[in-house]
Amino acid sequence: MAATILDGKALGARIDERTAQRVTTFVDEHGRRPCLTVVLVGEDPASQVYVRNKIRRCGQTGIESREHRLGVDVGEDELLRLIRALNHADDVDGILVQLPLPDHIDAALVLEAIAAEKDVDGFHPDNAGRLASGMPRFVPCTPRGAMHLIHEVHENLQGLHAVVVGRSTIVGRPMAQLLLMADATVTIAHSKTKDLTSTCLDADILIAAVGRPKIISGGMVKPGATVIDVGINRIDDGGKGRLVGDVDYDQVMGHAGAITPVPGGVGPMTIACLLENTVDAAIMRMA
């Protein structure tokens, strides 16, 4: 039987409706809109698309957005100065520096410079540490969005084996922490894992967050498993560029119980969660 398709666009739209209501309440109470500031360095085409989508969705939910575009050659010092100014700006609730940054800039240093209470990406070590300690403040948006999708299928994760493929600080690690907090039994697999296929085959919930096109094949998926595809890979499909995930969708469709498409699965959920985090930040700052 074909898998249920987990529609991140529809679920993201439902979350955005709730966010828009929270924005209205915030405006009534504080006389201003929550404000997200996005910093984009350089001309990376994918980053430009992501930033454009984030700004558009801010507009749709009533969140004020501001954008700072810096040239690819901007010095680390100048970027850090901008972040410090945004940290001190009373009317800025959330700060997001779009990744990846150019090689001459130390991304870890930049992320740590963002005030933890404005870190709506949840990448600051304080926020990562809080999540790892089971006391989350801002949770990274992609894993938070993936959890919403998983809960569409599984109300309760107790007794389920979740396998996260990928150990990045942006997705893999926080994803594992969230699954643990939800009482799943969690395995993190990565490039040095000995037998990836048998590890994946044991998963009731399989999260692919590697960044390699179609690395998860049909033969790696237990029948009926829930498969969450975090990958967004641009491939040259006979000259016409196309987005594919880390999961071989057509193959896995015949094995999984539920699956997220690419695009239209995790991607729209990431932005919905960014907007939720921004309203959370605004409310926390005004408390």
Which sequence positions are flagged as catalytic? Answer: 54, 98, 121
Cβ–Cβ under 8 Å, residues 7 and 36: no
Q: Does 278 bind ligand GUN (CB under 6 A)?
A: no
98 binding ligand GUN? (CB under 6 A): yes
142: contact with ligand GUN by CB under 6 A:
yes
Non-local (6+) Cβ contacts of 229 within 8 A are 208, 216, 245, 246, 247, 249, 259, 260, 261, 262, 265, 266
210 binds ligand GUN (CB under 6 A): no
Please identify, using beta-carbon distances, which residue of 200 and 209 lies nearer to ligand GUN. Answer: 209
Cα-to-chain-centroid distance, residue 101:
17
Stretch that binds ligand GUN, among 20-28, 58-66, 92-100, 258-266 (CB under 6 A): 92-100
Residue 11 or 146 with smaller CB distance to ligand GUN: 146
Collapse the DSSP code of 174 into the 3-class scheme (helix H, G, I; strand E, B; otherwise coil) and give the result: helix
Q: Which listed residue (96, 139, 162, 247) binds ligand GUN by CB under 6 A?
A: 96
Span near ligand GUN by CB under 6 A; candidates 5-13, 70-78, 95-103, 146-154: 95-103
Region near ligand GUN per CB under 6 A, out of 90-98, 145-153, 156-164, 240-248: 90-98
How many whole angstroms separate alpha carbon 268 and alpha carbon 224? Answer: 24
Q: Provide the minimum distance between the beta carbon of 156 and ligand GUN in the complex, in angstroms, as a whole number.
A: 28
- Distance (Å, rounded) from C-alpha 202 to C-alpha 30? 50
User: To which residue do tokens 């454009």 refer?
Assistant: 52
C-alpha 140/C-alpha 145 separation (Å) is 9
141 binds ligand GUN (CB under 6 A): yes
Would you state the structure tokens that stand for residue 212, as one six-digit string? 């390699």
* Residue ranges binding ligand GUN (CB under 6 A): 96-99, 121, 141-142, 270
